[in-house]
């Protein structure tokens, strides 16, 4: 009997502790106009019903090949680039093509020096400005390809003492970046006659 009484007292104490130790009268609202009593138990459950945004302090992670515009305007957008370095590497055998373009119109393609016009320099510079090369963001790389024909590119542009380099790979570039790389590769190459 003593053991049963002890168990009953312990059970009563345990239940009182779980319920906050107060009497049912303590749980009643003090505002007599409130007809909705509070719930018997409160659980802290947070349900997220939307995607995280910048308001949450998190930056979105762009998918590979997605160009993310810069939030700040390029202060040197009107200036012409000083120097461009470009390297194209074939992933299957590491063969490379290197091109350098200077503001004065010199183009060095795999060691051979050519000259392009001032108009061609300005056309390349317009592409750099439209691309917002110095402010663009994104992931332009993917897993290395085992098959031939896929390339990795590195382009570095220097302007007004500031330089920025971007590495990209076939299949993971937005069209705007592809257009820029094509303009570099075609610099100084005679146009093929159409038949």
- 191 domain-assigned: no
Higher pLDDT pick, 65 / 113: 113
- 149 domain-assigned: yes
Is 77 in contact with 129 (CB distance < 8 Å)?
yes
Place of tokens 């998190």: 58
Count up the domains in the chain and report the number: 1
CATH number for the domain spanning 96: value is 3.30.1560.10
Place of tokens 């930056």: 59
Over its C-alpha atoms, the chain yields an Rg (Å, rounded) of: 33
Bridge partners (DSSP) listed for residue 99:
86, 109
pLDDT number for residue 193:
57
Contacts of 50 (CB under 8 A, 6+ apart): none
Identify which of 161, 79, 73 has the alpha carbon closest to the alpha carbon of residue 128.
79
What's the mean per-residue pLDDT of the chain?
72
- 3 domain-assigned: no
- 122 domain-assigned: yes
pLDDT tens figures, 73-121: 666 677 899 999 999 998 888 899 999 999 999 999 999 999 999 999 9
Kindly indicate the confidence band of residue 184, based on its pLDDT and cuts at 50, 70 and 90.
very high
Q: Which helix (H) or strand (E) holds 15?
A: helix 2-18
Dist. CA 166–CA 119, nearest whole Å: 25
Identify which of 159, 179, 154, 138 has the alpha carbon closest to the alpha carbon of residue 74.
159
What average pLDDT does range 40-67 have in this prediction?
A: 44
- 17 domain-assigned: no
Is 88 in contact with 185 (CB distance < 8 Å)?
yes
Dist. CA 59–CA 38, nearest whole Å: 39
- 90 domain-assigned: yes
| The model's pTM | 0.61
Higher pLDDT pick, 44 / 175: 175
pLDDT number for residue 114:
94
- 20 domain-assigned: no
pLDDT above 70 coverage of the chain, percent:
55
- 67 domain-assigned: no
pLDDT number for residue 35:
55
pLDDT number for residue 96:
95
**Enclosing domain of residue 121:** 83-186
């Amino acid at each position: 009997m003593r053991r049963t009484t002890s168990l009953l007292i312990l059970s009563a104490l345990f239940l009182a502790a779980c319920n906050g130790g107060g009497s049912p009268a303590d749980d009643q609202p003090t505002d007599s106009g409130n007809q909705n009593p509070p719930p018997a138990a409160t659980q802290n459950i947070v349900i997220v019903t939307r995607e995280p945004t910048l308001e949450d302090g998190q930056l979105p992670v762009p998918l590979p090949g997605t160009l993310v515009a810069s939030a700040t305007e390029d202060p040197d957008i009107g200036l012409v680039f000083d120097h461009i370095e470009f390297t194209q590497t074939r992933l299957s055998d590491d063969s490379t093509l290197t091109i350098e373009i200077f503001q004065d119109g010199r183009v060095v393609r795999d060691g051979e020096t050519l000259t392009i016009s001032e108009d061609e320099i300005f056309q390349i510079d317009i592409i750099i400005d439209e691309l917002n090369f110095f402010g663009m963001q994104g992931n332009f790389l993917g897993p290395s390809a085992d098959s031939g024909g896929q390339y990795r590119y590195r382009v570095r542009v220097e302007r007004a003492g500031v330089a920025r380099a971007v590495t990209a790979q076939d299949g993971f570039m937005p069209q705007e970046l592809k257009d820029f790389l094509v303009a570099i590769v075609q610099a100084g190459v005679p146009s093929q006659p159409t038949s």
